[in-house]
Chain A
Amino acid sequence: MAELDQFLRGRSGVEAIVNRITELVNGPVSIMEVCGTHTMSIFRHGLRALLPKEINLVSGPGCPVCVTSQQDIDRMICLADMDDVIVATFGDLLRVPGSNGSLADARARGAKVQVVYSPADALKLAQSQKGEHVIFLGIGFETTAPTVAATILQAHNLKLSNFSVYSSHKVMPPALHALFQDEGLSVHGLLCPGHVSSIIGTKAYEPICERFGLPCVVAGFEPLDILAGILLILRQIRDGKAIVENAYTRAVSDQGNRRALAIMEQVFETRPARWRGLGTIDKSGLGIRDEFSMFDAERRFDIKTPEVKEHRGCICGEIIRAKALPPQCPMFAKKCTPTSPIGPCMVSSEGTCSAYYRYAGHE
Chain B
Amino acid sequence: MNDKILLDHGSGGLATRQLIEDVFLEHLDNPVLSRMEDSAILDLPQGKVAFTTDSFVIDPIFFPGGDIGSLSVHGTVNDLAMQGAKPRYLSLGLIIEEGLELETLKRVAASIGQAAKVAGVLIAAADTKVVGKGQADKIFINTSGIGVVPERIDLGIQRARPGDVVIVSGSIGDHGAAILLARSGLPFHAEIKSDSAPLADLVHQALSAVEPDAIRLFRDATRGGVATVLNEIALASGVEIEIDEGEIPVDPDVGMVCELLGLDPLYLANEGKCVAVVSPEGASRVLEAMRGTSVGRAARIIGEVKEAKGGPRVKLVTRVGGSRIVPILSGEPLPRIC
A residues near B335, Cβ cutoff 8 Å: 90-92, 115, 117
- In the complex, residue of chain B having the shortest beta-carbon distance to the beta carbon of A15: B321
Q: Are B322 and A48 within 8 A (Cβ)? A: yes
Q: Does A343 contact B (CB under 8 A)?
A: no
Q: Are A49 and B336 within 8 A (Cβ)? A: no
Q: Number of A residues whose C-beta is below 8 Å from B?
A: 39
A residues near B47, Cβ cutoff 8 Å: none
B residues near A9, Cβ cutoff 8 Å: 319-320
Within 8 A of A (CB), among B281-323: 310-311, 316-323
Q: Does A277 contact B (CB under 8 A)?
A: no
Q: Are A46 and B323 within 8 A (Cβ)? A: yes
CB A296 to nearest CB in B, in angstroms, measures 21
Q: In the assembly, what is the distance between CA of A144 and CA of B338, in Å? A: 9
- In the complex, residue of chain A having the shortest beta-carbon distance to the beta carbon of B318: A46
Q: Does A107 contact B (CB under 8 A)?
A: no
Q: Are B338 and A140 within 8 A (Cβ)? A: yes
Q: Does A339 contact B (CB under 8 A)?
A: yes
Contact of B322 among A35, A47, A64, A361 (CB under 8 A): A47
Main secondary structure of the interface of B (DSSP, over half): loop
B residues near A293, Cβ cutoff 8 Å: none
A residues near B186, Cβ cutoff 8 Å: 117
Query: What 0/1 readout, one digit per residue, does chain B (223-250) give for beta carbons within 8 Å of chain A?
Result: 0000000000000000000000000000
Whether A95 contacts B320 in the complex (CB less than 8 A), given A44-B264, A144-B337, comes out as no
Q: Are B337 and A46 within 8 A (Cβ)? A: no
Q: Identify which of B16-24, B196-204, B325-333 touches chain A.
A: B325-333
CB B321 to nearest CB in A, in angstroms, measures 5
Q: Are A45 and B320 within 8 A (Cβ)? A: yes
Q: Are A46 and B322 within 8 A (Cβ)? A: yes
- In the complex, residue of chain B having the shortest beta-carbon distance to the beta carbon of A46: B322
Contact of B334 among A64, A92, A144, A339 (CB under 8 A): A92
Contact of B316 among A46, A139, A358 (CB under 8 A): A46
Query: What 0/1 readout, one digit per residue, does chain A (59-85) give for beta carbons within 8 Å of chain B?
Result: 000111100000000000000000000
Q: Are A50 and B320 within 8 A (Cβ)? A: yes
A residues near B185, Cβ cutoff 8 Å: 121
Query: What 0/1 readout, one digit per residue, does chain A (104-130) give for beta carbons within 8 Å of chain B?
Result: 000000000001010001000000000
Q: Does A176 contact B (CB under 8 A)?
A: no
CB B242 to nearest CB in A, in angstroms, measures 12
Not counting A47-B322, A92-B338, a sample of 15 additional A-B residue pairs whose C-beta atoms are within 8 angstroms of each other reads A9-B319, A43-B324, A46-B322, A48-B322, A48-B324, A49-B322, A50-B320, A62-B338, A64-B338, A90-B335, A90-B337, A117-B335, A144-B337, A223-B322, A359-B325
13 A-B pairs within 8 Å (CB atoms) are namely A36-B338, A44-B324, A45-B324, A46-B317, A46-B318, A46-B320, A46-B323, A47-B320, A62-B338, A64-B338, A65-B336, A65-B337, A91-B336
CB-CB nearest 5 A-B residue pairs: A46-B322, A36-B338, A91-B334, A46-B324, A92-B336
